[in-house]
């Protein structure tokens, strides 16, 4: 579908990538990852041919239709949400008009009419409305929203509508840049399941490791100006990366040992004339080893800043208590007579749909919005820190990033420690000397979060803290919060972050809050079970009603559909298990190939002609073996239904 040939892109002296080549094939579901600023979004722009490359080219097969979800944009459509998803595709509307024209001319039996019907069927026209409504519901739209004009909606809901449009229509390739950014947790979970079963082709940029692991079958790594394609999801990529690093560490240690032996020999015999030739030979070997030094990539846990929170003072057991509170915005009642309590050590995520009141609850807990009634009681020794993506007025815009961060540091904290935390939030080197006033909105949000973590309170309230962080920075934040001894209440759409941090879930729905005392996985397992008046989960008793034959037939069909779906998922699980076993075999060959390719890249290696020939022969065997395993995987993937 897409062939990228020796592509380079630079902006002045800054080189994003150089001479990268890549092929995107039909059916590939690709996760594109890499540190912020490496050019992931620029690569999308080059594929869309909206940006000119510095060198190289992007070849797109004729007839390939590409859909694009940018990370930030406005979707200015005058149509209603549902109309955009049923009438917003020029290809479909063109064939629809031609179909109607042919019918008016009484040419419904013509060859062209049959061709038009076939095109409409291929593009999914005849089930468009049903599909659109299902997708909109999954993305969090209520039925009353279907008739709302898109242009009258907020930017976040406009982006949801655009995502819905991309999923409704048939595109040969989807380019999705952080598709969960504007979704709540429920919609992100729905999208994850939808894309896991998606039969099309997409490339997706995301910082959510759990999301990438569950929906992709290839991983693209863009870093240090180069690109690599790995067959397997993000979890598989991490395994390969870790094993390659272990291999390089071993090679580096062996090389260091060799260097020490050579240096010891030179130091011992450099003054002896009868050893002069040997000493010169050893020095030449040392020079070659220096030129071909094994470079071990930094451990992300170290390079991103493996920071920990300074110890906070311990709060009382009851951190905060809301007693019979009420809160309304005009005629909209968000909460009425609500009781809610947070205790020391809880790391609680607020789950629920957009508009359920999660952000309002976070603001009530922080004290930045007034309640209409009831009591907000803060516990003993509780220090509150609140982070919101929109609260950027707490920064002194005339400060540099470093000055602003240091203003939050206690007197005993060294500048190096402050810089380490800033580095974790992507302010390193010269970036720390930027003025706050020139930062983007995302950079300001990251700086506020960094300030919170420099001198943390013992009660953190976080609203979408991961939105502007890359994968490694999210990992650093996860590790820090796991070791944090205080109490947290947070909102996040990042499934990996939520699963890693939360030890309790509060589901916010219809003005009430339901507590799930366990991990996020526990919540997913138990959330559909109803509660009785004492708070114990129970199964509703069956209610006997007169038999409605039509409804019974529908129910029977639904049961059959569920059974078919169960069989389909079981079949797919078996096939994916076989694929994973083949991928493990590939992994072993890839590691061997990686080691041999590195050896063969050293021109001095060819002095041992026999070993070089053997390595070359083995590399061809490995290449053939990998090709055969790829064919096995493709054959199995074609059996997934």
Q: What is the mean pLDDT of residues 115-141?
A: 88
Residues 563-585 pLDDT 10s: 767 777 777 778 877 887 888 78
What is the spatial distance between Cα 141 and Cα 150, in angstroms, rounded to a whole number? Answer: 12
Sheet holding 373-378, edge to edge: 332-343, 318-329, 373-378
What percentage of residues in the chain have a pLDDT greater than 90? 33
Homologous superfamily of 318-526 in CATH?
Answer: P-loop containing nucleotide triphosphate hydrolases (3.40.50.300)
H-helix or E-strand spanning residue 30: strand 29-33
Q: Is the pLDDT of residue 362 over 90?
A: yes
Please give the residue that has the higher pLDDT: either 456 or 488.
Answer: 488
For all residues of the chain together, what is the average pLDDT? 83
Instruction: Say what the pLDDT of residue 548 is.
Output: 47
Q: What is the pLDDT of residue 166?
A: 94
- Contact status, residue 133 vs residue 146, Cβ threshold 8 Å: yes
Kindly report the number of other CB atoms within 10 A of residue 373's CB atom. Answer: 12
Are the folds of 2-237 and 318-526 the same?
Answer: yes
Band (pLDDT 50/70/90 cuts) for residue 343 is very high
For the entire predicted model, the pTM comes to 0.71
Structure-token pair, residue 159: 């982006």
Average pLDDT over residues 416-434: 84
Taking only the tens place, the pLDDT of each residue in 149-183 is: 999 888 889 999 999 999 999 899 999 999 998 89
Give the pLDDT of residue 496: 92
pLDDT at 540: 36
Alpha-carbon distance 252 to 295, whole Å?
Answer: 7
Residues 235-239, mean pLDDT to the nearest whole number: 82
Give ∠ CA 143-148-152 in degrees, rounded to 5. Answer: 140
For range 373-381, the mean pLDDT:
93
Confidence of residue 541 (pLDDT cuts 50, 70, 90): very low
Q: Which two tokens stand for residue 230?
A: 């790995």
Res. 12: pLDDT tops 90: no
Say which CATH class 2-237 falls into. Answer: alpha beta
If we measure between CA atoms, which residue out of 79, 403, 32, 443 comes closest to residue 228?
Answer: 32
The more confident residue out of 235 and 81 is 81
The pLDDT, as a whole number, for residue 407 is 87
Give the burial class of 575: count Cβ atoms within 10 A of its Cβ; 0-12 exposed, 13-18 middle, 19 or more buried.
middle
Residue 539 has pLDDT above 50, yes or no: no
Which residues have a Cβ under 8 Å from the Cβ of 425 and sit 6 or more positions away?
A: 446, 447, 449, 450, 469, 473
Cα distance between residue 14 and residue 630, in whole Å = 36
Rounded Cα–Cα distance for residues 132 and 165 (Å):
8
Cβ neighbours, 10 Å, residue 500: 20
Predicted confidence (pLDDT) at residue 542 exceeds the cutoff of 50: no
Please tell me which of 462-476, 501-515, 517-531 the model is most confident about, judged by mean pLDDT.
501-515
Confidence of residue 441 (pLDDT cuts 50, 70, 90): low
> In which element (H, E) is residue 374 found?
strand 373-378
User: Quick check: 278 pLDDT over 90?
Assistant: no
- Residue 544: pLDDT band (50, 70, 90) is very low
Q: What is the four-CA torsion angle of 566, 572, 577, 581, rounded to 10 degrees?
A: 170
Pairs from 253-259 (Cβ < 8 Å, separation ≥ 24): 255/289, 255/293, 255/294, 258/289, 259/286, 259/289
Q: Give residues with Cβ within 8 angstroms of 378, minimum separation 6.
A: 319, 320, 367, 384
Q: Which of 7-11, 25-29, 191-195, 310-314 has the lowest mean pLDDT?
A: 310-314
| pLDDT higher than threshold 90 for residue 99 | no
* Span 463-486, average pLDDT: 84
Strand partners, 329: 332
Is residue 556's pLDDT more than 50?
Answer: yes
What confidence score (pLDDT) does residue 547 get?
40
Mean pLDDT on 392-400: 79
- Contact criterion met (CB below 8 Å) for 221 and 228: yes
pLDDT of residue 442: 64
**Alpha helix positions (H), 387-431:** 401-406, 415-424
Buried b (16+ CB within 10 A) or exposed e, 438-472: ebeebbbbbbbbbbbbbbbbbbbbbbbbbbbbbbb
**CB distance 307 to 472 below 8 Å:** no
Confidence at residue 549, expressed as pLDDT on a 0 to 100 scale: 44
Residue ranges of domains in the chain: 2-237, 243-297, 318-526, 552-637
């Amino acid at each position: 579908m897409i062939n990228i040939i020796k592509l380079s892109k630079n902006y002045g002296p800054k080189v994003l990538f150089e001479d990268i080549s890549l092929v995107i094939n039909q059916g590939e579901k690709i996760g594109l990852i890499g540190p912020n600023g490496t050019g992931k979004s620029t690569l999308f722009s080059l594929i869309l041919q909206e940006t000119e490359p510095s060198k190289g080219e992007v070849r797109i097969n004729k007839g390939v239709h590409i859909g694009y979800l940018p990370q930030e944009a406005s979707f200015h459509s005058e149509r209603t949400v549902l109309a955009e998803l049923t009438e917003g595709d020029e290809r479909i509307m063109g064939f629809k008009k031609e179909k109607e024209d042919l019918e008016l001319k009484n040419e419904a039996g013509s060859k062209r009419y049959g061709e038009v019907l076939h095109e409409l069927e291929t593009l999914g026209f005849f089930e468009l409305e049903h599909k659109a409504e299902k997708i909109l519901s999954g993305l969090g739209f209520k039925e009353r929203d279907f008739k709302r004009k898109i242009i009258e909606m907020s930017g976040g809901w406009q982006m949801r509508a655009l995502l819905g449009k991309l999923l409704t229509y048939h595109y040969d390739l989807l380019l999705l840049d952080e598709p969960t950014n504007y979704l709540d947790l429920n919609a992100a979970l729905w999208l994850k399941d939808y894309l896991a079963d998606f039969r099309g082709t997409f490339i997706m940029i995301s910082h959510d490791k759990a999301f990438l692991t569950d929906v992709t079958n290839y991983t693209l790594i863009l870093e240090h100006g180069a690109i690599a394609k790995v067959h397997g999801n993000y979890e598989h990529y991490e395994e390969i990366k870790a094993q390659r690093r272990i291999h390089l560490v071993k090679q580096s240690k062996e090389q260091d040992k060799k260097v020490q032996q050579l240096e010891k020999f030179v130091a011992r015999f450099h003054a002896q004339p009868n050893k002069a030739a040997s000493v010169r030979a050893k020095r030449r070997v040392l020079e070659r080893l220096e030129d071909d030094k094994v470079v071990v990539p930094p451990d992300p846990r170290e390079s991103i800043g493996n920071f920990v929170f300074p110890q906070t003072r311990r709060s009382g057991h009851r951190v905060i208590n809301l007693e019979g509170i009420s809160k309304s915005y005009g005629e909209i009642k968000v909460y009425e007579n609500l009781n809610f309590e947070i205790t020391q050590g809880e790391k609680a995520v607020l789950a629920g749909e957009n508009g359920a009141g999660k952000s309002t609850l976070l603001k009530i807990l922080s004290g930045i919005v007034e309640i209409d009634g009831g009591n907000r009681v803060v516990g003993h020794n509780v220090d509150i820190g609140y982070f919101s993506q929109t609260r950027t007025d707490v920064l002194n815009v005339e400060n540099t990033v470093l000055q602003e961060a240091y203003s939050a540091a206690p007197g005993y904290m060294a500048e190096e420690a402050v810089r380490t935390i800033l580095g974790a939030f992507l302010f390193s080197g010269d970036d720390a000397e930027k003025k706050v006033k020139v930062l983007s909105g995302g950079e300001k949000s990251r700086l506020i979060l960094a300030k919170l973590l420099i001198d943390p309170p013992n009660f953190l309230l976080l609203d979408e803290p991961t939105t502007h962080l890359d994968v490694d920075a999210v990992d650093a934040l996860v590790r820090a919060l796991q070791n944090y001894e205080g109490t947290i209440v947070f909102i996040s759409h990042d499934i990996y972050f939520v699963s890693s941090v939360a030890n309790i879930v509060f589901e916010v729905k219809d003005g009430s809050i339901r507590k799930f005392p366990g991990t996020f996985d526990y919540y997913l397992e138990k959330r559909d079970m109803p509660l009785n008046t004492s708070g114990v989960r129970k199964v509703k008793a069956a209610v006997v009603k007169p038999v409605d034959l039509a409804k019974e037939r529908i129910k029977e069909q639904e049961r059959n559909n569920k059974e078919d779906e169960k069989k389909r998922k079981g079949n797919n699980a078996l096939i994916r298990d076989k694929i994973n076993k083949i991928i493990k075999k590939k992994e072993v060959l890839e590691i061997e190939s990686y080691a041999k390719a590195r050896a063969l890249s050293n021109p001095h290696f060819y002095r041992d002609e026999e070993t070089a020939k053997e390595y070359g022969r083995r590399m061809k065997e490995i290449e053939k073996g990998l090709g055969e395993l790829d064919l096995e995987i493709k054959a199995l993937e074609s059996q997934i239904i």
